[in-house]
Chains A and B, each alone.
Chain A
Amino acid sequence: MAINQEFIGRTYPPTEAYSVGREKIREFAKALGETSPCFFDVESARELGYPDVIAPPTFAIVITMQAGGQVVHDPELGLDYTRVVHGEQRFVQHRPIFAGDEITSTVSVDSIRSAAGNDMITVKTLVHAADGELVSTVFSLLVSRGVGEAS
Chain B
Amino acid sequence: MTLVSISHVHVGLELPAQEFVFTRADLIRYAGASGDFNIIHWNERVAQEVGLPSVIAHGMLTMGTVIRIVTDWLGDPGKVIEYSARFTRPIPVPDTDQGTNIKVTAKIAELLENNQAVITISAIHNEVTVLAKTVAIVQLAP
Please report A residues at the B interface, Cβ cutoff 8 Å. Answer: 24, 27-28, 30-39, 48, 50, 54, 56-58, 61-62, 65-66, 85-96, 139
Partner of A88, one of B64, B72, B76, B87: B87
When each residue 73-113 of chain B gets 1 if its CB lies under 8 Å from chain A and 0 otherwise, what string results? 00011101111111100000000000000000000000000
- Whole-angstrom distance between the alpha carbons of A86 and B59 in the complex? 8
- Whole-angstrom distance between the alpha carbons of A92 and B138 in the complex? 11
Q: Distance (Å) between the CB of B124 and the closest chain A CB? A: 18
* Contact B77–A54 (Cβ < 8 Å): yes
Partner of B77, one of A36, A62, A91: A36
Partner of A90, one of B26, B60, B84: B84
Partner of B34, one of A31, A50, A96: A31
Q: Is B65 an interface residue (CB 8 A)?
A: yes
A57-B83 contact in complex given A36-B72, A38-B77, A39-B77, C-beta closer than 8 Å: yes
Partner of B68, one of A32, A62, A93, A94: A32
Q: Main SS of the interface on chain A?
A: mixed
- Whole-angstrom distance between the alpha carbons of A90 and B36 in the complex? 18
- Please, which residue of chain B has its CB at the minimum distance from the CB of A38? B77
Please report B residues at the A interface, Cβ cutoff 8 Å. Answer: 1, 20, 26, 29-30, 32-36, 59-61, 63-65, 67-68, 71-72, 76-78, 80-87, 133, 136
* Contact A56–B87 (Cβ < 8 Å): no
A27-B35 contact in complex given A54-B78, A61-B60, A87-B87, C-beta closer than 8 Å: no
* Contact A32–B78 (Cβ < 8 Å): no
